[in-house]
Amino acid sequence: MKSILFFISFIFLSPILWSQSLDTIKPIDSLYKEDQFYIGVTYNLLGKTPSGLSQSGFSSGFHFGYIKDMPINIKRNRAIGIGIGISLNSFNQNMLISEAQDKSLNFNILDDSETPFTKNKFSTYMLEVPMEYRWRTSSATDYSFWRIYTGVKLGYVFASNSKFEGSAGNIKLSNIDEFNNFQYGLSLSAGYNTWNFHIYYGLNPIFKSEAKVNGEDINTNAIKIGLMFYIL
């Protein structure tokens, strides 16, 4: 009977003892890193708009990339992050971009009562270099933590287009020269575990100084508000 009880106890206790022994053998990673990949979705706004320019519909942004996490203290809860990524952005609004006979571009604010339309947007596709200062409450064994990541994003517009569908017909343009090729701004991501609030504020205009509407420079900048998800 004693041998049977010993055997049953061994069967039930051996996994626990084995697990504990593995924990003592397995070393804690003292050189751990966090948040190497990111995926984000934003609602895009236009700031500093010229008179009459307004947005309509939902303007979206999708962002994904890789960031090299480089801790700068012994606890490794502070770090510098430098990465590379792709950003896809659309802006639905009432400014028509059209091409004149001499191939120059015209920018006109539309009055929906005079020129009704069902779609009018421009889109940019950017290669981005995020640079962040990163603070978090993580450790080598804690994977749910608070974070605040702030810094700048440098962007290069490698493709762009505009689409109009309305009473004036369908107008599609691509690789628009009047977009600023280099765009940059401030960024902030903050949250706990999976869910992180994200905001980007563009520091320079979306369009070059050559782009004018009603003789006025289009000094519009991009503001992006949404969620950012980080993955090891």
Give per-residue pLDDT as tens, 38-61. Answer: 999 999 999 999 989 999 889 999
Percent of the chain with pLDDT strictly greater than 70: 87
Task: Give the residue, 169 or 35, on which the prediction is more confident.
Answer: 169
Residue among 172, 177, 179, 130 at smallest CA distance from 154: 130
CA atoms within 13 A on the CB side of 64: 3
Task: Give the residue, 74 or 17, on which the prediction is more confident.
Answer: 74
Burial of residue 100 (number of CB atoms within 10 Å: 0-12, 13-18, 19+) = exposed
Q: What tokens does 174 get?
A: 């691509």
> What integer pLDDT is reported at residue 29 of this predicted model?
61
pLDDT at 21 over 70: no
CA atoms within 13 A on the CB side of 169: 4
Q: What is the mean pLDDT of residues 20-31?
A: 53
> What integer pLDDT is reported at residue 84 of this predicted model?
97
> What integer pLDDT is reported at residue 214 of this predicted model?
86
Per-residue pLDDT of 110-130, as tens digits, reads 987 788 899 999 999 999 999
> What integer pLDDT is reported at residue 7 of this predicted model?
38
The pTM of this model reads: 0.84
Sorted by where each starts, the structural domains of the chain and their CATH numbers stand as: 33-231 (2.40.160)
> What integer pLDDT is reported at residue 194 of this predicted model?
84
Whether the Cβ atoms of residue 152 and residue 182 lie closer than 8 Å to each other: no
